[in-house]
Structures are given as C-alpha cells and as structure tokens.
Amino acid sequence: MASEGKIACFFVFFLCLRPSSEERTWVKSAYVYDGSDIRLSAIDSSLFSTLICAFAYIDSSTHQLYVNSSTEYFFHTFTDSVKFENSSITTLLSVWAGREDPSAFVSMLGESSSRRSFIESTIEKARLYGFSGVDLCGVLPSRSINMTNLSALLREWRDGVDAESRKSGKPQLLLVMAVYCQPIFNSVSYPLDSIQRNLDWVHLIAYDYHLPTRERFALPHAALFDPASQNNTDFCITWLLTRGFPARKLVLGLPYHGYAWQLEDSSPDAIGHPAVGPAVTADGSFGYSSIKLYIRDFGYGATSVYNSTYAVNLFRKGSVWINFDDVEAIRAKVTYAKEKGLLGYNVFQINNDKNWVLSRTAQEASEDQQHRRWFWPVLLISIAIVLLIFGLICYLQRRTLKSKGILGVMKGFSSRLKTMVCKGESLESGTPNLQTFGYVTLKAATDDFSSENKLGEGGFGPVYKGKLPKGQYIAVKRLSKTSNQGLEEFKNEVMLTASLQHVNLVRLLGFCTDREELMLIYEYMPNKSLDLYLFDPIRKYLLDWVKCVHIIEGITQGLLYLQEYSNFTIIHRDLKASNVLLDDEMNPKISDFGLARIFRKDDIEANTNRIVGTYGYVPPEYVRKGIYSTKYDIYSFGVLLLQIISGKKNSCCYGLNENLNLLEYAYELWKDDKCMQFMDPSLDDSSSSCKLMRCMQVALLCVQAKPGDRPSMLEVSSMLKNESSAVNSPKKPAFSINKDEDEDEDDKCLIKEAIHSVNDASISELCPR
C-alpha cells in the first residue's frame, strides 16, 4: 500500500515537471493590412510568432484569388521583409470572403468546380509569395451562405493542401479561419465539426459586439465578461468548448481599437446608459494610439479607468464615453486565454499600437503565466523527500477523500430527496412518488447522451430525448459542468415540479444523482418550445390565431394555478417563450422551475440579492432592488403575449428611427391607433372571440413600470375572456426612453438596465480599421 502511494506521488510529480506543449506552440499573431501606415521593417517582429498579410480577394467570374495591382508588390515582398527581421516568424496570406457582401464567396461555394479553382489558386498564390499558409476572413453565417457547402470547401481545401505537399515535397500549408462570436450569441453556428477536422486553428473575432452606429445604449464592444448579457467573449468560448471544440484550436482576438459614444446626458454610470450615437469620429471607432492621444489632449487631467467586471478600460468626459482595451484589459484577456488552454491570441490591428505598449503587455502576460506554471514543479522538488516518506499517508488520504467527497454528498442528497418524496414532504398532499433513475438507464435511453438526441440547452444544461426500455419517451435535463446553477436549483425544481400537478405545467417523472451527476427526467414534449415557432420565418405559419389563443389560454391557466389555486403562491421568475413547451397536440406547458420561489398565501412580496432570470423578461423593480412578487410573472407574461401576437423578438430596435424597444414600440402604435402595424400579418382573428387588439392592450397593462399598476392574473384571465368588459388605458411600459410627465423622475435610471435578452443578441458590424 505504501508503494502504491509512492508511485502515485511520483506520477503527479513527473506530470508537473513535464514540459507543456502549450508553451511550445503559443501563437502570437497579428493582421497587417496593405493600406496600413506602418512599414514592415518597423514592426517589432520579436513580439509575434505569426503575421497575417491582408487581403487577397475572390474574382467573381473565375473564382480564383487575386490581389490589386497597386498592392501586389506589398504581397510579393511581405514574407521576405518580415523574415529579414525575424527568420522564425510564420506568415499567412489572408483571403477576404466579403462578410455582409459575400456574393463572390457564395457563388464559389455553390459549385465543386469553382471550389477547386479557388483552392488551387490559393495554394498557388501562397507558394508564389512565400507564405506558410492561408487565412480565410470575413465568413459571417447568413442565409446566403450554405453551411454544407462551406463544410465541403474546408474538407476539399485540406485535401488539396495535403496533395500539394506530397507532390511538391514542401511542408503543408497552414489553414486557418476567422470565426465571429456575434453569430454564436444568436445561436447561429459554423460547421464546427468540419472546422475542427480541417483547419489548424481559428481566430475568434472577439470584439465589436456593440456599436454606437447600431445601438442606442452604451455598452462595451469587447467585454470578456458581462453579468447582464451573453454578448461577451467568455460566453462564446464556453459555448464552443461545451460543444467539443478543442481549446487548442482557438486563438483569442485582441482589439487594438475602441469606440466613442455620445451619451444623452452626463450620468456618472455610463454602461447601459442611453446614447444618441457615435462621438469623436463618424462611426465612433478609432485606434488605441489615437484614443490615448485624445485622452491626453482633451481629457484635461482625466484618465481612463479599468473595469474588471467586463475586463475593459473606460474613459468619460462630459457626455463622451469611450470603451477600449488598455494594458489592464489586454493582460486580463491573455491570462484568461492561458488559463482556458487556448492556442494564443491574434491582434486586430497592428498599426494601432505604434509604441508596442499593448503587444509587449500581451507577451509579458503570457510569459508571466508560463513562469507561474514552473512554480509548482520547483516547489515539488523541494518537498519530494517528504512526499516519499509520507507516501502511505497520501494514499490513505486520497482514499478517504474519494469516499467522502462530492460523490458522498450527492448520495446523501439523493437519499434525503427520496426520503422527502416517500414521506410526502411536499407542497401539496397527494403528490405521486418520483422515480429514481440510474445513470446506466439514462445513458442507454439517450444513446450515451448523443448529439442526435440533444433537444436544446438552457441555463441548467443540455436536454436530451430518451426512450425507456418499455417504450416511453422522456426528456432528460443534465446539469452542465459549466453551468452557474447547481444543487440549489436542482432541489428547487424537484420539490416544486413534483408537487405542482396541472395540465399546463410540465410533469417531472424523476431524477438521477448517480456518479456525481444531477439529472431531471420529464415527460417528453414532441413539439419542443414555443420560441421555435414564434421567431422562425417558416414554422410561424403552423401557428394560426386559433392555436395562438389556445396557447395563450393554457399559459394563463398555468399561471393562475401557480398564483391562485395551489396551496402556496409560486413565482416562476423565468417565464419566456423557450420555457413554454408544446405537446403533440400543441398544448402549452410551463417548464423550468429551477429559479422559482414559494410564497405563503398572506405574503405580498420578497427581496433577494441574487438577480436571476432572462433580461428582457425581468421587471424593473427586480432589476433595481431585487424585489419580486406575483407581478414579476405578470410582467413576463405581458412580454410573452406581445411576442405571440407580433412574432417579434424583444431585443431588436423598432420604429422609424429604430430607437424603440419592443414594449415601447407596441405602446406608441397602440397610442396612435396603429395597432395592426404591430401584429403578425399572418394572424387572422376574425373568427375568434379573442381579438388581437384586446391581447395587445392587456399585454401593455402587464408591462407597466410600476407593479401596482399591473393587473392580477385573475384580472388578466377575465379581460382576455370577456371582450365587452371595460379595460384601463395602459401607461408607458417599463424601460421607456421618454417617460410620461406624471411618472417618477427616478424611474429614468432604469433605462440603463434594459440590456438585450440573452436569447436575442443582434449582429454587429466588423470593419477593418
């Protein structure tokens, strides 16, 4: 036993001493443009491992690669000039796919002969100019780009490069590609499997999330983290990693530019504050060096401040607000890339860092992390003898920790759950017993949690379709290791969902806590969630007004049960389209009670310091003070009702000037008696007693800023059913830019909290600067 402990300690010891492959292959790359104002000889190439020469273009007729005659000399001499300064540097030729105007690229993708012509020309140009590989930039997923064809291009490109290398005897050309984070925020993905198999790495375009030319709220354009939105780099990288994309093929984009916003006023808290557009330059963008000069010349002693919550530097002078990456943000991002095991970083763009302040910071941050990695091996060397002497103790302690670790906690929790359910410790009497499922059973039912059986993914984790041995279909929700939720939400959902029995609530069948897993097993909903129909241009036609009314009534009845008819008052706190599931007859069922809270019948409201839910569905009193009551779900229901009758998302901007959120847009049209402009034109209420206009007015009553102005769920149900009853006129909705004169002045501070919904992020532009 002692010898086993010594072997284990030696194994850990030598693992720590083994050189990391990450340190040998760390990529420090940068884009260099043919029109940039920096000489190649002036680039401090010691700060980079790879330089990317941009851009070559695709001929729309021949689909072959070409460079402008005026810049051909630049491309022809690029590699020689760079390697003269640093012979070890790698150079890549970048091809521009067009981004918002990908017509030539799309045309090339559609035909195999065109793809072959493009591939052969890229290899020929790369060899002609002495490049070590090719970079594909400007591929932005859209309806015009067929992802199957893109996957075929990458596969054929890899085959072509391999064949050329075998024939010529030269090293294989590298193949890399720029991948934009913005489409991932909108759940629009690239062909990740093909990218992973055929490319050497990808550059993450991890910036330009928010632009002053496109949005009316001042937000950081390159946030590493964002507590209020999924528009951040950490979300993008986590999304890719949880889908099996290897960290060793990800290169993090570092922006050497920022944006200036013109705010509506001089409020001290600028993030999320209403803005009127760009400042300083036409589109608000300017490079790092120019930003530093602007702060020096016009700041009058003011300096930028580093915000660690978002990992961004901020400067404020009067109503001008600038967000950019200074040395603190660059250091944080490079450190993050190292900790996540990424391949390196890529600079956009190099000429904005004329004194190499940011590039040196990036290099130092990566070296600091490398030095820290060697701290533990040195420490282990100094205590190696102690580890050998106490080898037996280490072995026994490891066995003890294994038996009393998280597995023991999970088993204890599972046992307590079983006891509570069997004893009937629930919210209501007559609750049926939950079934305890084994991990092996669920693994077999879901075909080892295969991607083909994956139904979707939420805050708790992925959901899989499964089939039990007796033929019953189930839905298995499995806690993700990267989820912010855990034991509390799991226990909450088990106790609540099992106890609340209603035809419009999803039924929980059981749970699993085997093998350190947390899984919830539900009845299977074959038609998935409501959002897949509301916001899909094709599926929305499956919902005529009769079906919509049926869904609205079902959601209303589910909420009535939660608020009025169960023994306790239940506040869901996350009611939204994706949490309304549809069975085989399109009956709606409210799901996901992980964030729900229980009230006694005589309670009115409660307070929390932990703000949860989905932005866009969260009422203002909860955002500002953490106060929640039954009026929380009333507000969310109002937002959902507006989405059902319009088919519109709650993150886009509407109106002639595209400066109104969904709620305010609906209110303005209702006030001007133009309600039909808001409605989905495919909906016809002529044969129904429930009218679109009535639903719109009720929805606007539900989303009023003050909780006391909103109706109860009983009143909502009555107003929807009784068309002839009188209904109050709604006041301006929450988060409106222009308040009514009789509204409280302090409500204006809520505007800055109107962050876009997690599920409805918009695509921002990215232009070479």
With tokens 């760079």, the residue in question is 82
Q: Which H helix or E strand runs over 51?
A: strand 50-58
Q: Spot the catalytic one: 325, 514, 574, 633.
A: 574
Beta strands in 420-547 (DSSP E): 435-436, 454-457, 462-467, 473-478, 508-512, 519-523
Which residues, other chains included, contact 292 with Cβ-Cβ below 8 Å and sequence gap of 6+?
none
Instruction: Give the CA distances from residue 461 to residues 184, 237, 490, 769, in Å, rounded to whole numbers and listed in that order.
Output: 17, 16, 11, 38
Sign of the Cα pseudo-torsion (72, 132, 99, 236, in order): negative
Dist. CA 560–CA 566, nearest whole Å: 9
Longest Cα separation, the chain = 87
Of 134, 139, 240, 154, nearest in space to 197 by CA: 154
Burial class (CB in 10 A: 0-12, 13-18, 19+), 39: exposed
Tell me if 139 sits within 8 A of 145, measured CB to CB. yes
Neighbours of 603 (CB within 10 A): 12
Any catalytic annotation for residue 574? yes
At 765, the amino acid letter reads E
Dist. CA 475–CA 583, nearest whole Å: 12
Of 475, 566, 481, 545, nearest in space to 515 by CA: 481
Q: What φ, ψ does residue 652 adopt, rounded to 5°?
A: -75, 165
Of 304, 202, 326, 313, nearest in space to 256 by CA: 326
Which residues, other chains included, contact 32 with Cβ-Cβ below 8 Å and sequence gap of 6+?
38, 40, 43, 51, 52, 53, 54, 78, 349, 350, 351
Which residues, other chains included, contact 527 with Cβ-Cβ below 8 Å and sequence gap of 6+?
581, 582, 583, 584, 586
Q: Which H helix or E strand runs over 25?
A: helix 21-25
Tokens of 104: 């030539």
Q: Which residues are catalytic?
A: 574
